Structure 1
C-alpha cells in the first residue's frame, strides 16, 4: 500500500517527491555537498567517529559493556573502582590532572548499544553521554567483524562547569576546553580499541580478559 499525500506534511522545508521532482531536488542536494566544510559545521554540536574492527560483534559488545574496559582503550581513564551505588564506577581522568570521573554503563544486548553516562567531579548528574553501537560488519560491509559507531553530543555543560563546588582546587582545565579536539581524540581511542581487540582475537585470546570476569 502507498501512504497518501498527507496535508500535514506540506510544511515549508519538508522535501518529498510529492512536492519536488528529482530534477528540482538535485540542485538542492548538490548545494549541500561541498569540497570543504567549516570546522564548526562538522564538529559543532555532534562528534561521530566510526571504525571497522575485525572481531565478532557479540564478543566486542560484551567487552565494551564492562565499564572497566575503558581503563584499557581510552587515553586517560584509569584505576576504576565501583562506588557504593550499584553500577556506578569512579576512576581517574588523567587528562584533567587530579580529576575523578564517574561512569555508569547502559547497554542493550539486543541492539548492541553501549552508552557511557559520565561526569567529572560528581556522580549525581551524569551529563556527558557517549553513545556507541556495535554492528555486524557482515550485514553492512559483507565482511567479518564489527562496525563501531560512536557519537557524542555537545551538552551545554561542556561550555561551563555547572558544579564548580565539586571541582578540585586549582585545576587549570575543564573537559569542555577540549571539545575542538574531541573528534581526533575519540578517533585515536577508537583505534586503540581496534588494536587491542584485533590483537587478542588474532592470538586466540578472549576479547574481554579473564580479570574482568
Structure 2
C-alpha cells in the first residue's frame, strides 16, 4: 500500500528517514526565536482552558450574540431578515458594520463564525472554534477551546471598498499581525465569563440569549 507514496517529494516517514536521520532534521526546526511571519503568517491559532462544562460552553458560543459578551469589539447585533444572518458593529472600525452567520455542530462541538466587515453577501472572515471536553485531554473537569483563523487574501486589501464607511482609517487586515494576541485576550474573556457563571451556579448562556436566534 505504501508503494503509492513513492515519488512524492517532501514526505518524511520512518521507512525513508530512520530516527538517526530524522532527529537532526527535527532539531533543526526548533528555534529559540522564530520569525513573526513563520508563526503568524497564514494562520492564527489560540487556545485556552475554561472552567465550565463543554456542552454549556458550546451552547453559549453557538449563539451569535455571545460575541457581544466575550469579543473585544463586536456589539449591538440584530437580525437582518435573512435566516441566520446578523448585523452588528465592530468598534475597531468606528462605524463599521460587521455581518455574522454562525454554523455550529453539537455532535463535535464546533462553532464557526462566518463574518465580514461592511457587507453580508460574502462572509470571508471565518473563525473556526472547537470545544473539547477537558477530561479527555487534561483528565479534569472543564473545557478546552481551540480557535483558528486563516489569512484570507482579502485581509490584504478590501475588495468591497464601495460598501465601506467614508474616511475609515483602518481595514481589518491592518490588525493581522496582532491577531494572535488580540484573540488570546478575547479567549481569556470567554474563559472568565463562562467560569464565573458556572461557579455561581448560573447558566453559561443567559436567558435573554436563548430563543433570540433567527
Tell me the TM-score normalized by structure 1: 0.97
Q: Which residue of 2 aligns with 1:91?
A: 88
Q: Which runs of 5+ in 2 are unaligned?
A: none
SS at match of 2:2: coil
1:42 corresponds to which of 26, 39, 42? 39
Alpha-carbon distance in structure 1 between the residues aligned to 2:77 and 2:111: 18
2:120 corresponds to which of 119, 123, 138? 123
Alpha-carbon distance in structure 2 between the residues aligned to 1:58 and 1:205: 14
- Contact 1:60–1:134 under 8 Å retained in 2: yes
- Deviation, 1:35, is 1.1
- Contact 1:5–1:18 under 8 Å retained in 2: no
Aligned residues: 210
Alpha-carbon distance in structure 1 between the residues aligned to 2:132 and 2:162: 40
Tell me the TM-score normalized by structure 2: 0.96
Alpha-carbon distance in structure 1 between the residues aligned to 2:2 and 2:186: 46
Q: Which residue of 2 aligns with 1:194?
A: 191
> Alpha-carbon deviations, 1:60-86, whole Å to 9, x = none?
000000000000000001111011101
Q: Which residue of 2 aligns with 1:30?
A: 27
Q: Report 1:42-191 matches (<5 A).
A: 42-191=39-188
Alpha-carbon distance in structure 2 between the residues aligned to 1:28 and 1:96: 44
Alpha-carbon distance in structure 2 between the residues aligned to 1:67 and 1:6: 48
Q: Which residue of 1 aligns with 2:16?
A: 19
SS at match of 1:52: strand
Could you say what the CA RMSD is over the residues aligned between the two structures, in angstroms?
0.8
- Deviation, 1:19, is 1.1
Alpha-carbon distance in structure 2 between the residues aligned to 1:5 and 1:193: 45
Alpha-carbon distance in structure 2 between the residues aligned to 1:197 and 1:12: 46
